Amino acid sequence: MTKTELIPLMSEDREQFILDNQEAFKFGAMQEFGMRDDHFEEDGQIISRETIEHSIDEGEAYRIVLNGKNVGGAIIRVDGDRGNLDILFVSPEVHSKGIGYATWCAVEKMHPEVTVWETVTPYFEKRNIHFYVNRCGFHIVEFFNSHHPDPNEPDTSDEADGQFPEGMFRFEKRMEQERIQR
């Protein structure tokens, strides 16, 4: 397994963390859609500064470090026995090296009290869907779309069904099932 470290985000690295996060998310959309993408939240970005800052302010933010170099980041929120993976990104130049999986394993170890983890990803992020389902053991439990909106998102009916009208997958990982299987 790839040896990564999760280092709490330092305030002086906040700006670069946001830029790195936006670059990683934009890379996935550009791979899928090219320049015709219309899913940007702001000024050519898939994920807005406001979204990232809100996640940082409300959760635990970490830099993913490999051999002393920042190669990504993660933001999680934990409330009792429930956890939410708000953001996990790996720099495109180090994709497919096990960094995301090693990071996820480290997050699980940091919070053994969590019995259910949850996250979401856009319908078009095939790499993410593969990663969460086939690598990390999550299950798709819901598909938010114009016919089944996310109850946690503000009303987007005036915005042509929101940023991702084709949908977002919600994933869960129930840790008690995994612990029983081990």
Q: Is the pLDDT of residue 138 over 90?
A: yes
pTM of the entire predicted model: 0.81
* Domain 5-181 = CATH 3.40.50.980: no
Q: Measured in whole angstroms, how far is the alpha carbon of residue 19 from the centre of its chain? A: 15
Cα–Cα distance, 154 to 137 (Å, whole number): 29
Within 69-135, residue ranges assigned H as helices are: 99-110, 126-130
Q: Shortest CA distance to 29 belongs to which of 19, 17, 44, 7?
A: 44
Residue 133, judged by CB atoms within 10 A of its CB (0-12, 13-18, 19+), counts as middle
In the chain, domain spans: 5-181
Q: Is the pLDDT of residue 139 over 50?
A: yes
Question: How do residues 49-103 score in pLDDT, each as one tens digit?
Answer: 898 999 999 999 999 999 999 999 999 999 999 999 999 999 999 989 999 999 9
Cα–Cα distance, 123 to 85 (Å, whole number): 17
Q: Are 61 and 73 in contact (CB under 8 A)?
A: yes
Q: Is the pLDDT of residue 160 over 50?
A: no
Helix (H, G, I), strand (E, B) or coil at 29: helix
Residue 126: DSSP 8-state = H
Q: Is the pLDDT of residue 134 over 70?
A: yes
Q: Is the pLDDT of residue 169 over 80?
A: yes
**Is 43 or 1 the better-scoring residue by pLDDT?**
1
